[in-house]
Chains A and B, each alone.
Chain A
């Protein structure tokens, strides 16, 4: 029981990861898919940051006597990953805006219907 309660951060990570994956797969609205992708990214950030915590550790600044400090490397990596996530989200939303202008909708099934109709038109062209 202490094993389950002591590792609760991993349970949170698993829950968020599966929730994000479900939203990406199961929702047809393109913006909701991007939101699900963001939830998935947050779960990965939580995994690394919660694993990188040193109990009783302070900031890694050089002082006279030796102290217990937390490793700055996971924090720096996740900061970079957050910036990358923001850029990816912006790119995804720009694509959604362009799809909206081109198809008039952002529902995946309607876009597939429009694409299938276009393909049929292309095939039947002499």
Chain B
């Protein structure tokens, strides 16, 4: 803990704020700038910051490979699943109105679920890209940087 003490302490203070901001951007996509892709990238930035400061092995313990693979597929299935639920309830594919019966609430819930799927997939894909890059470079000792 002696090396890069300031970096570690500040990172520990910053990461919850970054995650909270990512959730804020995710759920305010209807009313302002935001949505799935932007929120996913900010969410992944928190995990990548943790991986940079605390080491790749520690970050892999937080976010193991099987979890990354499952979450990438989960976001996609959520997106496609909302479309299919619309089809099973009588409308076309990705018809939001039939999800609750009323146009206003149906659109709201449909868009929220779709953006959630996009956010989950985008964040885990960015984390996976960073992990696959970072595992190829030679390991540097703690004193070297």
Contacts and interface: CB of A to CB of B under 8 A. Distances in A.
A93 B35 CA distance: 26
Contact of A79 (B37, B133, B136): B37
A93 B136 contact: no
Of the candidates B31, B129, B137, the one having the most CB atoms from chain A within 10 angstroms of its own CB is: B129
B43 to A, nearest CB: 14
Interface residues of B, number: 9
Interface in B48-87: none
B37 A90 contact: no
A interface SS class: helix
A101 B136 contact: yes
A90 B129 contact: yes
Contact of B136 (A59, A82, A83, A97): A97
Contacts of B129: 90
Contacts of B137: 97
Interface string A94-122: 10010001000000000000000000000
A109 B35 CA distance: 43
A76 B69 CA distance: 27
Interface in A62-102: 79, 82-83, 86, 90, 93-94, 97, 101
Interface of A: 59, 79, 82-83, 86, 90, 93-94, 97, 101
